[in-house]
């Protein structure tokens, strides 16, 4: 072991050393359908106008720490209730980290249903918190009695509920969510990363509870590269969390670009409606591919499906060999054996995916 490795082993906290970090695949030259990005580019004229806007920003200056231009546009674009506070993050990942830094940490518990978003565990453990899971029901719905039991048993400082849930794609019953919030003493964060693709939202109900915050992101509507997340809720919570936020967490180009995008919401809305149309087409075509065993209903911009037992990894690799990158969920949770997750792409990408999937399944 090198001296540096020995020092790192001595000083990095054991909880961090035992973690497996979040792996991001190197896409290379492939059709990229692994990360819930929106694939629709802006029309050329709009892209030119955006580049013009970027020409005016001062990158020699620190960003506006209060995001004064962006915040009102986000409030309007997301429909944030007038009495609610708004805190911005470098993607919602950073907001999850900020919540856990402020509320979780050593000696406290973070709870989430399982299977759910991988970062809930990673970030909780990085902050020194204990991570506890409560299994989702047979159709990946919230198991209300089990969740209420888990609240009583663990007394979590923070509970994360993703609505809709990643990687299962389904929305949660919002009355069940409200019941969880009502019964929890600690903070409950309703993570609505996929809200643009969902039928329902908890947003109008967030202020009904003294212990609820709601997360949104611009990542799934074509702006994943900007890293802009929004945390919405009672100002009393957000004022405390604000103290943990690094003042310049949103770069000058990110703030200007997000503001520009929100001033041209039709382009974002168009990108969402294209995905919804393609999602419908994929949801019909996917179950008809020989070998696909189950496709779960989705309220997101991805579909989760199962292939025959023992074939999950081979199908994932077969797709990659044919130039299509999706996400293998196999091994991430016992309920997701031989499951794969595909992000809805552009029509020609989805066609290529369906073709490559049929071939990979036949070969597996
Ligand atoms: C449920 C959920 N929350 C949060 C995020 C993180 O999104 P962001 O790009 O805003 O960090 C994701 C990304 O996949 C997600 O699935």
Which pLDDT belongs to residue 181?
98
Which pLDDT belongs to residue 151?
98
Q: What is the DSSP letter of 205?
A: G
Give me ligand 1 centre to Cα 134, in Å. 20
Q: Is the CB of 166 under 6 A from ligand 1?
A: yes
Q: Is the CB of 192 under 6 A from ligand 1?
A: no
Which pLDDT belongs to residue 116?
98
Intervals of CATH 3.40.640.10 along the chain: 58-264
Which pLDDT belongs to residue 348?
97
Q: Does residue 25 register a pLDDT over 90? A: no
Closest protein CA for atom 16 of ligand 1: 166
Instruction: Name beta bridge partners: 230.
Output: 88, 216
Give the residue carrying structure tokens 């198991």: 143
Q: Which atom of ligand 1 is nearest to the CA of 95?
A: 11
Q: How far apart are CA 165 and CA 134, in angstroms?
A: 14
pTM higher than 0.85 = yes
Q: Is the CB of 97 under 6 A from ligand 1?
A: no
Q: Which atom of ligand 1 is nearest to the CA of 219?
A: 9
Distance of CA 136 to the CA centre of its chain: 18
Least-confidence region, from 43-47, 73-77, 236-240: 43-47
Using alpha carbons, select from 116, 119, 155 the residue that is nearest to residue 133. 116
Which pLDDT belongs to residue 28?
75
pLDDT, mean of residues 194-204: 98
Intervals of CATH 3.90.1150.10 along the chain: 3-43+266-363
What is the Cβ-side half-sphere exposure of residue 2, based on CA atoms within 13 angstroms? Answer: 3
Can you name the CATH fold of 58-264?
3.40.640
Q: Is the CB of 165 under 6 A from ligand 1?
A: no
Q: How far apart are CA 196 and CA 218, in angstroms?
A: 9
Give residue 345's pLDDT band: very low, low, confident or very high (50, 70, 90).
very high
Top-level CATH class of 3-43+266-363? alpha beta
Distance of CA 233 to the CA centre of its chain: 18
Which H or E element spans position 160?
strand 158-162
- Mutual angle of helices 44-55 and 252-263, in 10-degree steps: 140
Which pLDDT belongs to residue 22?
78
Instruction: Choose one of 92, 95, 120 to mutate for the ligand 1 pocket test, by most ligand atoms within 8 angstroms of C-beta.
Output: 92
Q: Give the pLDDT confidence of 56-112 residue by residue, as tens digits.
A: 999 999 999 999 999 999 999 999 999 999 999 999 999 999 999 999 999 999 999
Percent of the chain with pLDDT over 70: 100
pLDDT, mean of residues 43-48: 92
Instruction: Name beta bridge partners: 294.
Output: 306
């Amino acid at each position: 072991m090198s001296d540096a490795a020995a020092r790192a082993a001595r000083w990095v906290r054991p909880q961090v050393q035992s973690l497996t970090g979040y792996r991001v695949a190197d896409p290379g030259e492939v059709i990229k359908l692994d990360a819930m990005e929106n694939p629709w580019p802006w029309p050329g004229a709009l892209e030119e106008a955006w580049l013009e806007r970027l020409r005016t920003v001062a990158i020699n200056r620190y960003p506006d720490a209060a995001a004064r231009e962006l915040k009102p546009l986000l409030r309007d674009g997301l429909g944030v209730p007038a009495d609610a506070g708004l805190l911005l993050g470098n993607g919602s990942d950073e907001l999850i980290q900020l919540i856990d830094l402020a509320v979780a940490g050593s000696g406290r518990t973070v709870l989430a249903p399982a299977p759910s978003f991988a970062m809930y565990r990673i970030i909780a453990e990085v902050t020194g918190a204990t991570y506890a899971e409560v299994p989702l029901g047979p159709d990946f719905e919230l198991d209300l009695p089990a969740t209420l039991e888990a609240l009583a048993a663990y007394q979590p400082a923070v509970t994360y509920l993703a609505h809709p849930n990643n990687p299962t794609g389904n929305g949660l019953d919002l009355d069940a969510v409200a019941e969880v919030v009502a019964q929890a003493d600690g903070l409950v964060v309703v993570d609505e990363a996929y809200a643009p693709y969902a039928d329902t939202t908890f947003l109008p109900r967030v202020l009904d509870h003294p212990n609820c915050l709601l997360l949104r992101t611009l990542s799934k509507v074509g702006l994943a590269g900007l890293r802009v997340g929004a945390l919405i809720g009672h100002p009393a919570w957000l004022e405390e969390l604000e103290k943990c936020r690094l003042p310049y967490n949103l770069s000058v180009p990110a703030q200007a670009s997000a503001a520009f995008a929100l001033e041209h919401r039709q382009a974002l809305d168009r990108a969402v409606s294209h995905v919804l149309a393609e999602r419908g087409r994929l949801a019909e075509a996917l179950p008809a591919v020989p070998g696909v065993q189950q496709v779960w209903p989705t309220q997101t911009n991805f579909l989760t499906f199962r292939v025959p037992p023992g074939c999950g990894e081979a199908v994932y690799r077969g797709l990659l060999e044919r130039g299509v990158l999706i996400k293998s969920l196999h091994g991430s949770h016992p309920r997701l054996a031989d499951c794969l997750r595909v992000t809805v792409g552009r029509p020609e990408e989805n066609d290529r995916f369906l073709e490559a999937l049929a071939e990979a399944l036949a070969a597996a």
